[in-house]
């Protein structure tokens, strides 16, 4: 947990120096989330388990596409 917090400090510092990095960081995060979603769906043959909201899945797809 400490490592995750320290990495976050580095990201925040970099963004404070170059604000345009924030947009790139957000876009990369969206692409990674979409990739994880695609892998998950492939492993589960396209089925979503109980408790997973289809609207959230759709929002991940939309965010990564923009």
**Tell me, what's the pLDDT at 66?**
57
Over its length of 66 residues, how does the chain's per-residue pLDDT go in tens digits? 889 999 989 888 888 888 888 888 878 888 888 888 888 888 888 777 777 788 887 777 776 565
Rounded to an integer, what distance in angstroms lies between the CA atom of residue 33 and that of residue 47?
17
DSSP 47: P
Six-digit token pair at 53?
């909201």
Write the DSSP assignment of the chain as a string of letters. -HHHHHHHHHHHHHHHH-THHHHHHHHHHHHHHHHHHHHHHHHTTTPPPTT--HHHHHHHHHHHH-
Give the global pTM: 0.54
**Tell me, what's the pLDDT at 5?**
92
CB 14 within 8 A of CB 21: yes
**Tell me, what's the pLDDT at 14?**
85
């Amino acid at each position: 947990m400490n490592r995750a917090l320290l990495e976050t400090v580095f990201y925040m510092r970099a963004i404070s120096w170059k604000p345009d990095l924030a947009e790139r960081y957000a876009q990369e995060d969206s692409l990674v989330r979409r990739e994880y979603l695609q892998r998950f769906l492939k492993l589960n043959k396209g089925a979503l388990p109980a408790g997973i909201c289809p609207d959230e899945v759709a929002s991940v797809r939309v965010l990564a596409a923009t």
